[in-house]
Amino acid sequence: MKLSHTFGASLAALTIATSALASEQSIIVQSTTSTANSGLYDYLLPLFQDKTGIQVNVVAVGTGQAIRNAQNCDGDVLLVHAKPAEEKFVEAGFGVTRTDLMYNDFVVVGPTGDPAQVGGLTDVQEALGKIAQAGALFASRGDDSGTHKKEVALWAETGVDPTAASGDWYRETGSGMGATLNAGIGMGAYVMTDRATWISFANKQDYEIKVQGDEDLFNQYGVIPVDPGKCPSVQIEAAQTFADWLTSQEGQSAIAAYKVDDQQLFFPNAPKN
């Protein structure tokens, strides 16, 4: 009986140790939707897991929600695209450090009929002003995502409060980028989207990029391991390993290599060590 008891205790201890090890080898990334919808994670994560054995589980939501989730300790890494909000996250003690990871840009898409006549403009404030003046339909995510935060900032720079026309020419979907594009195309509205999602989007119909090339449409992504000082459950070693790999030469090369329809979607720009 004593031998059986000892064996049982040893087996239980081994099971606990194995469970702890498995936990250490699995992390949750609270992420913006564009990196998921574009297929980037489907390409990157197998490369990372093959190298490290660490499994990455992605929760893809709008940037605002991703930040709130991370503040609630529901993740190990934050990967989003709203730099001022990311810096506040770190300053509040929720993030270890924020590192630039990659960038692309935003574009404004619209129907070929182009009711506000903004096609070919490279000044996004001029384009938004013309859309507002014409009362042309504009579909906004309205969901506190990184894209929505950027759109709100651009409207403010234009001197227009589109929410005054909410439900009229300004339509807030409260949805993700793909759903907002589908809704916008369905109603013939202009939509601001990140370029990666647009390239990957299948339901373009008669829509095309109307406004692009303004430096104000720059779209920076950052990566932040969640601080175990605020969230003791964080798998910090695995989280830091993931962040370090993404910003390493190997991870940056993998990001640059990912293409859809022979078009590069993200451009790595992590600081070189």
**pLDDT of amino acid 272:** 87
Query: Chain-wide mean pLDDT for the chain?
Result: 92
Tell me how far apart the alpha carbons of residues 97 and 225 are, in angstroms, rounded to a whole number: 7
Confidence of residue 257 (pLDDT cuts 50, 70, 90): very high
**pLDDT of amino acid 96:** 98
**pLDDT of amino acid 43:** 97
Q: What is the mean pLDDT of residues 41-57?
A: 97
Is residue 111 predicted with pLDDT exceeding 90?
Answer: yes
Beta bridge partners of 268: 102
**pLDDT of amino acid 20:** 45
User: What is the pTM (predicted TM-score) of this model?
Assistant: 0.87
Residues near 230 by Cβ (< 8 Å), separated by ≥ 6? 71, 73, 93, 94
Is residue 22 predicted with pLDDT exceeding 50?
Answer: no
Is residue 196 predicted with pLDDT exceeding 50?
Answer: yes
Q: How far apart are the first and last CA of the chain?
A: 59
Tell me how far apart the alpha carbons of residues 221 and 101 are, in angstroms, rounded to a whole number: 6
**pLDDT of amino acid 193:** 97
Higher pLDDT, 243 or 176: 243
Report the Cα 77 to chain-centroid distance in Å. 12
Residues near 96 by Cβ (< 8 Å), separated by ≥ 6? 90, 224, 225, 226, 227, 236, 240
Is residue 242 predicted with pLDDT exceeding 70?
Answer: yes
**pLDDT of amino acid 273:** 67
